[in-house]
A and B are shown apart, each in its own frame.
Chain A
């Protein structure tokens, strides 16, 4: 009942004209960044983040959230039309979506992707409404030791983002923690590793670092390649047949359940849920041989999963303050730049803001469904703009964005430096996502650790006095040790255990 009343209050705020406008602009800009080759959701959000600085907190977060799920859908468009996945999860959609486009059914593929995304996102938002308040009320009882345990768990879960090398992922995460050190000490107020620089007294600003690591690095990698082909294919009708809808119904339902179940667990990433959905649909199908040749189930299920995951990932973000992915870490950065700390205290201290943002998630899903189907022709036109024109404009926008954060040339230099670092990281197969997560969680981790030890007079065992913090730290240790265990246990023994 409380959740329903709060949601109604949230809708009354989210339906105000200026918030609707910013949700709309976010959906359009998010889809645009998703459509543009070489710009994924995280780079898109980082590049567009400075636009929100002039807005109030509610408008800024509504717009950024709309950019977040808008860019997911934009990635689907290039996946289906050009076989160029905008982000990792879209790669699964390419397996059948692009085949449908080659058969002249691009419109149907895009339409079912939009519908599946809408249903998945809407049901995930409803889950957020139901689950968030009780989770937040439990988390309100957390003190500094429990929050420290939670942050450590969040950092250890980043191993799920580490790709092929866990060790390189951990080094990358520690590098991100190192970046949080320069600035002014939060307790004693003295300069800390600022090397006499006035610019560094405020610390390394999050936004140009993220824009450099994800935006500029990606652009530098794309600059190596020869110029891209311009999109020439023709768009077909968006109409779906009754058979299309019938074939897609259960994949969308199953995909939504998979996306929500995995979205609440930080660190899973977007690829595993969509891959899981595709595997489930192929297994459940009476004709699995059709998968990979243009089966609509191969588009409907993963797309529902993708958007359900994206919205369900807001649950740990809002209730515990733990971003489930690097993209949501950018959103946490935006919260903090607006003077807000995601987590249980947000529900208690700023309920009108929280529920307005949650209501706007639903409104944004509706907007994406209504707008993007008719606007597909516009996105196709944008894909026809030569890359030699698009590419410098994206760079220019990134450079302007980084300057406008603090009107500081220093931030442009930070952008360039981390663009080069991000480029080198990608070349060396060092994952970048852990840097984003630890850059956000680092200050929170240090704050909760120092508060805990101040409470205990310097005794570190305070972290083990509460069952919650002990449990969280124990799980973190198990996660951190799991690669070593996997190395030590012979593969045949592992297989026999799982059998």
Chain B
């Protein structure tokens, strides 16, 4: 864990230095009192100082060993990747495909990644989670959800 903590503390140190640089660029003093860069600069100083202390602590003091479950096993890694892929795909597909198709694909993908039992129920629930939720949001809650930007899909009400 030593290397992991060192790398993490250096990442925060870099962020702190970046904030100090940006704070200076924005200006520490303004027309009346502190400028827009005052707060970022001092937050950067504090973050950099604390991160440096953390780096020192990780380098000099005994650090616990990495636990066996720190890295997920094969199955866990696949499920983790599946969740992230589903979320990223949902964000990318939302505008071009619209909410209905994006959410349908999202839920069906995750349902079957996490287990193949109850296939019919899962398909029904996925349809409810997409088209049903769209209806509830649009009609009852008056919260618009996006339609597809593709003309053909849009003409189908998707």
Residues of A in contact with B (beta carbons under 8 Å apart)? 51, 53-54, 167-168, 170-171, 174-175, 177-178, 181, 185, 187-188, 190, 192-193, 216, 219-220, 223-227, 386-389, 391-393, 395-396, 399-400, 403-404, 407, 409, 412-413, 415-416, 419-420, 427-428, 430, 446, 449-451, 453-458
Contact = CB atoms under 8 A, between A and B. Distances in A.
B114 A227 contact: yes
12 contacts: A171-B12, A187-B36, A188-B31, A188-B36, A227-B114, A386-B118, A389-B111, A391-B110, A416-B91, A456-B33, A457-B33, A458-B34
B51 A392 contact: no
A178 B15 contact: yes
A67 to B, nearest CB: 17
A193 B118 CA distance: 49
A220 B32 CA distance: 47
B33 A223 contact: no
B43 interface: yes
A393 B77 CA distance: 20
Instruction: Name, among A181, A219, A227, A420, the residue most crowded by chain B CB atoms within 10 Å (CB to CB).
Output: A181
B114 A450 contact: no
A389 B75 contact: no
A437 to B, nearest CB: 15
A51 B133 CA distance: 13
A450 B86 contact: no
- Majority DSSP secondary structure for residues of A touching B: helix
A227 B111 CA distance: 12
B105 to A, nearest CB: 11
Contacts of B19: 178, 181
Contact of A225 (B29, B46, B76, B110): B76
Enumerate the 8 nearest inter-chain pairs by beta-carbon distance, A residue then B residue, closest first: A388-B115, A392-B110, A454-B33, A224-B76, A388-B114, A185-B36, A174-B47, A453-B33
Nearest to A226: B75
B143 A404 contact: yes
B80 A190 contact: no
A54 B143 contact: yes
A192 B25 CA distance: 10
A400 B40 CA distance: 32
Contacts, number: 166
A303 to B, nearest CB: 32
A450 B38 contact: yes
A428 B103 contact: no
B43 A177 contact: yes
Contacts of B82: 223
B150 interface: no
Contacts of A54: 141-143
B59 interface: no
Given A412-B94, A416-B87, A427-B70, A392 B111 contact: yes
Given A174-B43, A192-B40, 20 more contacts: A167-B53, A167-B54, A171-B9, A177-B46, A181-B19, A219-B83, A224-B69, A388-B111, A389-B111, A389-B121, A389-B125, A392-B107, A395-B83, A395-B87, A396-B103, A409-B94, A415-B87, A427-B70, A430-B8, A449-B39
Contact of B80 (A220, A430, A449): A220
Nearest to B130: A396
- Majority DSSP secondary structure for residues of B touching A: helix
Interface in B48-73: 50-51, 53-54, 57, 69-70, 72-73
Contacts of A181: 19, 39-40, 43
B2 interface: no
B5 interface: yes
A387 B82 CA distance: 16
Contacts of B88: 416
Nearest to B12: A171
Contacts of A190: 26, 36
Nearest to B95: A409
Contacts of A188: 30-31, 35-36
Contacts of B57: 167
B151 interface: no
A300 B119 CA distance: 43
Given A192-B36, A224-B72, A409-B91, A404 B114 contact: no
Contact of B34 (A386, A404, A453): A453
Given A170-B50, A187-B36, A192 B43 contact: no
B24 interface: no
Nearest to A415: B87
Interface string B112-140: 00110110011001000100010001000
Contacts of A388: 111, 114-115, 117
B153 interface: no
Contact of B91 (A220, A391, A412): A412
Contacts of A389: 111, 118, 121-122, 125
Contact of A393 (B9, B12, B118, B125): B125
Instruction: Name, among A51, A450, A456, the residue most crowded by chain B CB atoms within 10 Å (CB to CB).
Output: A450
A369 to B, nearest CB: 29
A190 B5 CA distance: 36
Contacts of B91: 409, 412-413, 416
A126 B109 CA distance: 50
A428 B33 contact: no
Contact of A167 (B50, B79, B86): B50
Contacts of B32: 187, 454
A449 B133 CA distance: 45
B30 A187 contact: yes
